[in-house]
Amino acid sequence: MTDPGQLRDLDGQQYIVLRPLGAVMREFDAVQDAARQRLGDTVRYPGAAHVTLRGLYEPDRVDAVRDVVREWAAQQHPIDLVFEAVDAFPAPWQIVIARLGRTPGLLHAYASLTEALDRTDLRRIGELPLDDWTFHLSTVYAKTLTDEAWTALADDTRHDYGAPPAETVTEVEFVTYSDAAEHREVFSLGVSRPEQREGQIRRAH
């Protein structure tokens, strides 16, 4: 992400995300490309496919959040992602989503992450109980559309897959936002001392 406005809005936040790189990502790209052809720049689009497991706001305790993520990731197994349908979150959010199946791996990952965070006083953002959480990838942020245009988009794009795209992810990303930049660290799932890769998207000007 390099958009200055989005980076400003996210400053001080941290996210724990899964990034598909295979069949799920390719179908995500296809859905997003179709929306771009239809809507152009009248809406916003996530920069890359990602499944958010948790958001936090701890600008002064990033190391503490990182430690929780590292320890949690070491106890996980690879996670299956199944792209079940194109769906939508209604107004006021107006987001087209790739809805994911509630696979055992995803359910365990979310529940165990909740347990790990419950043992801390870290401040979480927008957390819901597991039963209420919709696993998804946001594909189009369409809050700028009129009610009529949004209804048409949601109705036209909703569909289930007879043969859902699926893949298995073996890593989790710890994404932080500070100093007008997005910072990413990758931890392998199920490895007690995961190889960590760090990356920083160049500061936006």
- What the chain holds in terms of domains, given with CATH numbers, is 4-102+120-199 (3.90.1140.10)
> pTM score > 0.95 for this model?
no
Q: What string of pLDDT tens digits covers the 205 residues of the chain?
A: 666 666 677 787 999 999 999 999 999 999 999 999 999 999 999 888 999 999 999 999 999 999 999 999 999 999 999 999 999 999 999 999 999 999 999 999 999 999 999 999 999 998 999 999 999 999 999 999 999 999 999 999 999 999 999 999 999 999 998 877 889 999 999 976 544 444 433 333 2
**DSSP secondary structure of 30-63:** HHHHHHHHHHGGGSB--SS--EEEEEEE-TT-HH
Per-position b or e across 55-66, b if 16+ CB within 10 A of its CB = bbebeebbeebb
Best CA proximity match to 27, nearest among 202, 162, 188, 176: 162
